[in-house]
Amino acid sequence: MFLNARDPDSGLFSVQQYKLSQNDHFRLEIKDRGQDGKIPVLFLHKPLDREAARSHRLLLTAVDGGKPPRSGTMGIVINVLDVNDNMPVFTRESYTVELNENSPVGTTVIQVNATDKDEGLNGEVVYSFGNNVNNKLRKLFEIDAITGAITVKGLLDYEAKDRYEIDIKASDKGLAPLSTEKSVIIAVVDLNDNVPEIEVTSLSSAIPEDSKPGRTVALISVSDKDSGVNGKVICSIIDDVPFTLTPSFSSAPFQCLLNSSNWPCAFMHF
């Protein structure tokens, strides 16, 4: 930037030097053009950051050679234009949420948020799934490009999958967009949505009337696809009949292994 002061006097009484107020970003050089006098040139000395300072105010002083010297000043305001030099930054280090299986379509899972220090389109953030998010996940979840809200789009079944990790991308609207990604972990919570299934693995078609107590009449297997307490089963006989139900263990008569997903049981005459 060329800045020139004019002084009607000549010779030593004309402008002899220039001074620039103290600052960190600009420096002043003086070019001597002979009869045209001395011309100050303002150079950028240190890179500017609009996010740190939107403008810089300088004071340029021109001093002649008189005794005492006379001087004149001019204020300089330099406005810093924005460039897309900042990428969006998510406001949280991690996103983890629990979500019930069978949640209705449209249920909000979580809302992510990112900010960009740039201004205008360079600072406006839009959201999308990361490039590595497969079609299966896109059928189960969707994200609002403006708000960053992730919602349920398809049927979630704990028994099919109990955990999802989705990459979310935040991009600005600059001519050369900058973007960043963050993972969202969704833990699906099991609900008691499966009924126990009963399978008769062995059954006696007829029982002699003189059968002794303790004789095995049938072997029954009971299972439940739910997990934890929801998957534990209890076998019982409702009607008043001359039979009892007893757990068995492995291959030993009338015994079997009892666990949360499989309870083979034995009908016994008594």
Q: What is 197-260's CATH topology? A: Immunoglobulin-like (2.60.40)
- For the structural domain made of 89-189, what CATH number should be given? 2.60.40.60
What is the pLDDT of the chain when averaged over all its residues? 82
Asked if the domains 89-189 and 197-260 are classified in one and the same CATH topology, the answer is yes
DSSP state of 135: H
Segments making up each domain of the chain, as ranges: 11-79, 89-189, 197-260
For the chain, the distance separating the N- and C-terminal CA atoms, rounded to the nearest angstrom, is 108
Tell which wins on pLDDT, 18 or 185.
Answer: 185
Adjacent-strand bridge partners of 114: 90
The arrangement of secondary structure in 11-79, i.e. its CATH architecture, is Sandwich (2.60)
As a whole number of angstroms, the distance between CA 172 and CA 169 comes to 10
- C-alpha closest to that of 235 among 189, 266, 192: 266
Tens digit of each residue's pLDDT (9 = 90 or more) over 140-190: 999 999 999 999 999 998 888 999 999 999 999 999 999 999 999 999 988
In tens, the pLDDT along 251-269 reads 433 332 323 334 444 444 4
Beta bridge partners of 77: 57
- For the chain, what is the radius of gyration of the CA atoms? 41
Highest-confidence range of 6-20, 55-69, 196-210, 230-244, by mean pLDDT? 55-69
Distance from C-alpha of 193 to C-alpha of 233, rounded to nearest angstrom: 14
Report the pLDDT averaged over residues 10-26.
85
Q: How far apart are CA 55 and CA 49, in angstroms?
A: 10
